[in-house]
Amino acid sequence: MRGTFILFISLFLFNILIGNAQQETSVSLDEMLEKVESNNHTVKISEENFNAAKADYNQTNSILLPNISISHTGISTNNPLMAFGSKLNQEILTQEDFNPALLNDPDAIQNFTTKIEIQQPIFNADGIYMRKAAKAKMNAFELQTTRTIDAVKLEVTKAYMQLQVAYKAVEVLEKAKVAALENKKIAENSLKQGYLQQSDILSVEVHVTEVENQLLTAKSGVKNASDYLLFLVGETNETTLKPSTELTAALNLEVYNQQLSENRADIEAMEKSTEAYTNMYKANKMSYLPSLNAFGSYELYDDKIFNANANGYLVGAQLSWNVFEGFKRIGKTQKSKAELDKAEISLEQYKNKSQLEFNKAKRQLKDAENSMNLTSLAVEQSKEALRIRTNRYEQGLEKTSDVLISETKYLQKQLEYLQAVFNYNFTKTYVNFLTK
């Protein structure tokens, strides 16, 4: 009976372990980056902003293409003027219709008109520059979308690195837990032999509990980092992602020689935005010029619906010049000039700020490299110190508190080293991002 119970428990635990294993999915950074453009919500929003700007640009085709409309109108009237005109349009006017009695008091008449109208812009100087402004705005949004994709990929890279750190932290803490439990056994044996007091055992147990709590927190950190990475690539499921590669320090001295490029997508987007303001200012100035438009219509008339026994056409051109709008146009031009000046100043400020940020990032990279090297050395020193103290502790030559301090310090330095490696790798990636 006991053997059956043990077998049942073993199978139960095995199924739990298999279930947990199935929930973990190994992924590479390249896989995550490939999903960004198609799944990330921020990228999709940026693409829709571009689509809206593209639609605005398409609307400006109206200054080049004709405006065509078709209408069908039906009326019934005994209005003398309307009745006479309707008969004239229908080509059914007779000699009797000139009778003054009928002219003054006609019978009701029905008139159905099918009308095709065409309006063709010929010269609209302000419209031409407004079209150029819309195109520059569209290009700016396209460049912003490109930069948004780069920025989200940077965030995905950061999240992937954080996931690597989280898994490595769990690994370090699991080893620390094994070591803490081993030292606890040594302490318990020493207590039985009378070398230690109960307070020393309590201190060891407190240390084990602290390590276990840190381990639980680290495991939660793995899940949090995995969920955030899934969010960035637009996925929602219960899978826990696991990096296919471990966190390692990837030194690259070439990155220090890189320079900020003005061909960066966000800087070019600012330049296109400034170009749009320039064209808007020119469009407002060109609104002082006259505009020339052609028009024409073709009409079909009958006294029955959707019939066409008579027809007529009209063609012409109109040169219009709005000379004065009560200072409205002058104020609009002044406003667009102010907006242009503001855009030019903002562009210069953005370039200077980008250079400042780039210089700062390169200094941070050097600091991160130095910190990583020093922390690596500190890990080796604290490891050696722990080894010496543990050997002496087993021989009864060291205090329990000293060993616990060494264990804690070694664990702390290992975690600090993981963070230092992350800081260096991400800062290096960030510098590359600023140079694109």
State pLDDT tens for residues 395-416.
777 777 787 888 889 899 999 9
**Cβ(290)–Cβ(320) below 8 Å:** yes
Both 89 and 205 in one domain: the answer is: no
> Which one of 321, 341, 367 terminates a domain?
321
Per-residue confidence (pLDDT) for residue 228, from 0 to 100 = 94
Whether 171 is covered by a domain: the verdict is yes
pLDDT for res 16: 46
Determine the Cα–Cα distance for residues 399 and 403; give it in Å rounded to an integer. Answer: 7
Kindly state whether residue 420 falls inside one of the protein's structural domains: yes
> Do 145 and 110 fall within a single domain?
no
Q: Which tokens hold the place of 179? A: 């070591």
Domain residues for the domain of 103 are 66-123+289-321
Percent helix / strand / coil, the chain, rounded to 5: 70, 15, 15
- Shared domain for 295 and 405, answered yes or no, is no
* Confidence (pLDDT) at 5: 42
Please tell me whether residue 45 adopts helix, strand or coil conformation: helix
pLDDT tens readout for residues 3-55: 444 444 444 444 444 444 447 889 999 999 999 988 999 999 999 999 999 99
pLDDT at 4: 46
Determine the longest span between alpha carbons in the chain, in angstroms.
139
Q: Please tell me the predicted confidence (pLDDT) of residue 196.
A: 65
Angle made by CA atoms 92, 96, 101, in degrees to the nearest 5 = 120
Check whether residue 223 and residue 261 sit in a common domain: yes
Q: How far apart are CA 89 and CA 96, in angstroms?
A: 17
- DSSP string of 265-334, one letter each residue: HHHHHHHHHHHHHHHHHHHHHHTTS-EEEEEEEEEEEESSTT--SEEEEEEEEEEE-----TTHHHHHHH
Structure tokens belonging to residue 203: 């201190």
User: Which residue stretches of the chain have pLDDT < 50?
Assistant: 1-22
Q: What is the CATH number of the domain that holds 75?
A: 2.20.200.10
* 9: in domain: no
101 and 205 fall within a common domain = no
The reply to whether 30 falls in a domain is: no
In a domain, 200, yes or no: yes
Domain for residue 3, yes or no?
no
Q: In this structure, are strands 24-27 and 109-123 parallel, antiparallel, or unpaired?
A: unpaired
Asked, for residue 13, whether it belongs to a domain, the answer is no
Shared domain check, 298 and 193: no
Among 298, 321, 344, residue at a domain's last position: 321
Residue 195 has a pLDDT of 64
| The total number of structural domains that make up the chain | 2
Q: Are 222 and 155 members of one domain?
A: yes
Q: Give the contacts of 365 (CB within 8 A, at least 6 positions apart).
A: 255, 256, 424, 427, 428, 431
- Pick the closest to residue 389 from 414, 407, 415, 375 (CA basis): 407
Structure letter (DSSP) for residue 242: E
Q: Which of 277, 297, 321 is the last residue of a domain?
A: 321
The DSSP call for residue 108 is P
What's the mean per-residue pLDDT of the chain?
A: 87
Please report the pLDDT score of residue 13 as a whole number. 45
Q: Does one domain contain both 229 and 340? A: yes
3-class secondary-structure state, position 238? coil
Same structural domain, 247 and 366:
yes
Beta bridge partners of 294: 120, 317
Cβ-count burial of 148 within 10 angstroms (0-12 exposed, 13-18 middle, 19+ buried)?
buried
Question: Are 70 and 114 within one domain?
Answer: yes
**224 and 96 in a common domain:** no
Closest CA to 33 of 168, 161, 179, 127: 161
27 assigned to some structural domain:
no
Q: Please check whether residues 99 and 187 belong to one and the same domain.
A: no
Domain harbouring 235, CATH code: 1.20.1600.10
